[in-house]
């Protein structure tokens, strides 16, 4: 269920009821690297701030208190973790996770408990799903006593408490926590304010000065936290700890698709690694998917093996690795892709890594990128790499979105299905997904318009960091530009000619437009402003279409247009390059360079001020000197009108910028 979307308690693919089960699984101990991963974020200057913040929150370092509560009339203690020991005097209940070991001890066999567990197990497994669910609990009928608080509170089992964070047990302070507040209102529990909120409504989750807290009254939140921790450590009932939200990485998947986990299970020797000479373990091809469950577990021969230690019969591990496992190190394999003896050569990997620029969707900002950072550190610790961060620069592109469609029965429809129905509800554009069926078949796009048109539309419609709404009109517009560029090449380029010694008039204007486009597209690509770069391609195409001659300047402009379009329209650019008479591939040609002398405009418009106020603008040649600027400014009609009857004292000229006349 790790990647399963849960809708109304059921998986969206199968409609089967969701349930949680206890499984023996494989984990990677990423928690050992929690602090190192957190510290490393400070050096990732080439990453977006939002991604670094997301990883920081996911790792979730927090300082708090682990302390014991006594279960009344039972010979048990419950360890609780809290980041807010300053709110202890507002405790109204103790809450355990449904899968906490003490849950069965305190409530097992009591009326309604199994039904409550079943209800909790039907929720989604993600923290987001649990957070959004209604807060429900089961009253165990037991109470817990705390030595610092010196009173008892009821013990509940609650669906919003997670076993894999902290200790799986919390105390509820309804006045200062939103979940606890909702829970207390639902079950009629007391709500005691212990932090002065300065008039803010409850629940107040900020810091402040303690009230209703006995001898802690008047302390600040920070002082109270330190004091409660000190008292717990003094009487041996608790200790201050640094806790991480990050959990160990569960890499097991009970399915065929994935890399086999290379271990054997021997009745005599236990878990035994597959000998290195027998690697890699490959999946069988003759698998049966006709029955539910993992086909590897019921394969008649594949799972049977011989223990390399004792020579007795053993069974292969039938779980396969999470696909994140493979995507966490593939970039190192790219450094040495043809190595048949090992994953990669350390020297080659050291030459290329870290990756200079990584581009990926923001949906992988946490898991994939965090796992890759962990994997790189682990490989370095094992001596396979000499770098600890895999990606120096990161750019997160937006998602492709599309409208959604539902029929009267509430069933999601593919766009082509919706086109033929009348009772269709059209929803707003959201990220394309298989579950919502708001996807477009690439084969249809390629067949109708070609890959280049699709690529151009995606790159030109919006900045790459923003979402792109897929529309029929957008792809059709891109396809029209593809056709137009081809016409320009075949109709306007002409044949190679001798370069003239001098350019003026329209030819010089054409060359300025060409080199302005070269400089602009080059800069935009480096800055990931792909939509701006494609806009410059269109501007250059317009300039070529408006240029009447078939001379050297036209040829230069058309070749530049083709070369600049290659990153966006690679197939068309190669065809156009060949059509212009070139015998080598464009992919091997150098990127065009702009002539700096042609980037300056032929004319400039500058302002003319009289006593600091703008009174006119004048247009002059870009290389006009100060004398020419002054003469043109003094002849401007509006300037002459403001100078009538005044004595001109000073003229300050910044050529190409401004003329300021001081008069009195």
Mean pLDDT of the region 30-36: 97
**548, 556 in Cβ contact below 8 A?**
no
The closest of 283, 280, 279, 274 to 255, measured between CA atoms, is: 283
Q: Which two tokens stand for residue 630?
A: 């002054």
Q: How confident is the model at residue 465 (pLDDT cuts 50, 70, 90)?
A: confident
Look at residue 664 in the predicted model and tell me its pLDDT. Answer: 78
**E strand intervals along 295-390:** 304-306, 313-316, 320-321, 355-361
- Overall pTM surpassing 0.85 (yes/no): no
pLDDT at 53: 95
Give per-residue pLDDT as tens, 620-637: 887 788 888 899 999 999
Which residues face 606 on adjacent strands?
A: 618
pLDDT of residue 2: 43
Instruction: Give residue 1's pLDDT.
Output: 40
3-state secondary structure 538-607: HHHHHHHHHCCCCCHHHHHHHHHHHHHHCCCCHHHHHHHHHHCCCCCCHHHCCCCCCCHHHCCCCEEEEE
* Band of pLDDT at residue 358, cut at 50, 70 and 90: very high
pLDDT at 374 over 60: yes
Better-predicted residue by pLDDT, 597 or 310: 310
Alpha-carbon 614 to chain mean position: 49
Residues above pLDDT 90, as percent of the chain: 65
Instruction: With cut-offs at 50, 70 and 90, classify the pLDDT of residue 97.
Output: very high
* Residue in 96, 121, 157, 165 with CA at minimum distance from that of residue 1: 121
Residue, of 607 and 655, whose pLDDT is higher = 607
- Reported as a pLDDT band with limits 50, 70 and 90, residue 8 is low
Return the higher-pLDDT residue of 431 and 561. 561
Q: What is the mean pLDDT of the chain?
A: 90
Q: Are 156 and 180 in contact (CB under 8 A)?
A: no
CA pair distance 355, 4, nearest whole angstrom: 31
Which tokens hold the place of 237? 């009932």
- Cis-peptide into 280, omega within 30 deg: yes
The pLDDT-based confidence of 14 (bands split at 50, 70, 90) is: low
Share of the chain above pLDDT 70, in %: 95
Task: Supply the pLDDT for residue 11.
Answer: 66
Greatest distance between any 2 Cα atoms in the chain: 114
Whether 15 shows a pLDDT value over 60: the answer reads yes
Tens-place pLDDT, residues 425-463: 898 888 888 888 888 888 888 888 899 999 998 888 778
Is 3's pLDDT higher than 60? no
pLDDT of residue 442: 80
Mean pLDDT of 85-110: 95
- Is residue 472 exposed (0-12), middle (13-18) or buried (19+ Cβ within 10 Å)? exposed
pLDDT at 490 over 80: yes
State pLDDT tens for residues 492-550: 766 677 898 888 889 999 999 999 999 999 999 999 899 999 999 999 999 999 998 88
């Amino acid at each position: 269920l790790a990647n399963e979307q849960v809708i109304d308690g059921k998986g969206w693919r199968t409609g089967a009821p969701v349930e949680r089960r206890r499984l023996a699984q494989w984990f990677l101990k990423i928690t050992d690297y929690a602090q190192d991963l957190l510290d490393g974020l400070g050096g990732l200057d080439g990453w977006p701030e939002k991604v670094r913040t997301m990883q920081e929150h996911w790792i979730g370092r927090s300082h708090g208190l682990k302390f014991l509560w006594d279960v009344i009339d039972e010979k048990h203690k419950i360890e609780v973790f809290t980041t807010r020991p300053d709110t202890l005097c507002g405790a109204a209940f103790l809450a355990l996770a449904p899968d906490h070991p003490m849950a069965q001890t305190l409530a097992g066999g009591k009326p309604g408990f199994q039904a409550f567990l079943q209800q909790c197990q039907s929720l989604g497994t993600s923290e987001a799903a649990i957070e959004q669910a209604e807060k429900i609990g089961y009253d165990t009928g037991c109470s817990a006593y705390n030595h610092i608080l010196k009173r008892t509170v009821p013990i509940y089992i609650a669906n919003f408490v997670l076993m894999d964070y902290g200790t799986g047990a919390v105390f509820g302070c309804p006045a200062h926590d939103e979940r606890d507040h909702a829970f207390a209102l639902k079950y009629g529990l007391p709500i005691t304010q212990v932090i002065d909120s300065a008039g803010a409504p409850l629940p107040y989750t900020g810091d402040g000065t303690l009230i209703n807290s006995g001898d802690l009254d008047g302390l600040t939140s920070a002082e109270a936290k330190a004091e409660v921790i000190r008292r717990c450590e003094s009487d041996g009932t608790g200790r201050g700890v640094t806790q991480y939200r990050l959990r160990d990485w569960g890499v097991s998947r009970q399915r065929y698709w994935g890399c086999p986990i290379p271990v054997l299970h021997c009745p005599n020797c236990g878990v035994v690694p597959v000998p290195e000479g027998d690697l890699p373990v490959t999946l069988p091809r003759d698998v049966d998917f006709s029955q539910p469950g993992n086909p590897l577990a019921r394969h008649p021969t594949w799972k049977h093996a011989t223990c390399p230690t004792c020579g007795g019969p053993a069974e292969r591990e039938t779980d396969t690795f999470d696909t994140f496992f493979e995507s966490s190190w593939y970039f190192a394999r790219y450094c040495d892709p043809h190595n048949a003896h090992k994953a990669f050569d350390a020297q080659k990997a050291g030459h290329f890594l870290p990756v200079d620029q990584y581009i990926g969707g923001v949906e992988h900002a946490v898991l994939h990128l965090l796992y890759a950072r962990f994997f790189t550190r682990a490989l370095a610790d094992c001596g396979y790499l000499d770098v600890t961060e895999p990606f120096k620069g990161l750019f997160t592109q937006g998602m492709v979105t599309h409208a959604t469609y539902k029929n009267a029965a509430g069933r999601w429809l593919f766009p082509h299905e919706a086109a033929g129905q009348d009772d269709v509800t059209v929803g707003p554009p959201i990220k394309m997904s298989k579950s919502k069926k708001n996807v477009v078949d690439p084969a249809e796009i390629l067949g109708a318009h070609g890959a280049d048109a699709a690529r151009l539309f995606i790159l030109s419609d919006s900045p790459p960091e923003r979402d792109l709404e897929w529309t029929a009109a957008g792809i059709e517009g891109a396809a029209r530009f593809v056709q137009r560029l081809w016409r320009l090449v075949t109709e306007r380029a002409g044949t190679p000619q001798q370069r003239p010694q001098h350019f003026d008039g329209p030819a010089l204007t054409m060359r300025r437009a060409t080199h302005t486009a070269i400089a602009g597209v080059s800069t935009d690509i480096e800055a990931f402003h792909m939509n701006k770069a494609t806009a410059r391609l269109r501007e250059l195409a317009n300039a070529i279409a408006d240029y009447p001659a078939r001379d050297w300047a036209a040829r230069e402009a058309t070749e530049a247009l083709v070369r600049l379009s290659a990153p966006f329209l690679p197939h068309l650019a190669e065809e156009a390059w060949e059509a212009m008479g070139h015998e080598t591939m464009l992919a091997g040609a150098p990127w065009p360079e702009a002539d700096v002398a042609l980037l300056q405009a032929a004319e400039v418009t500058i302002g003319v001020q009289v006593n600091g106020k703008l009174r006119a603008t004048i247009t002059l040649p870009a290389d006009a000197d100060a004398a020419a600027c002054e003469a043109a400014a003094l002849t401007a009609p509006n300037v002459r009108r403001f100078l009538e009857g005044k004595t001109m004292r000073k003229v300050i000229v910044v050529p190409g910028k401004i003329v300021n006349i001081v008069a009195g």
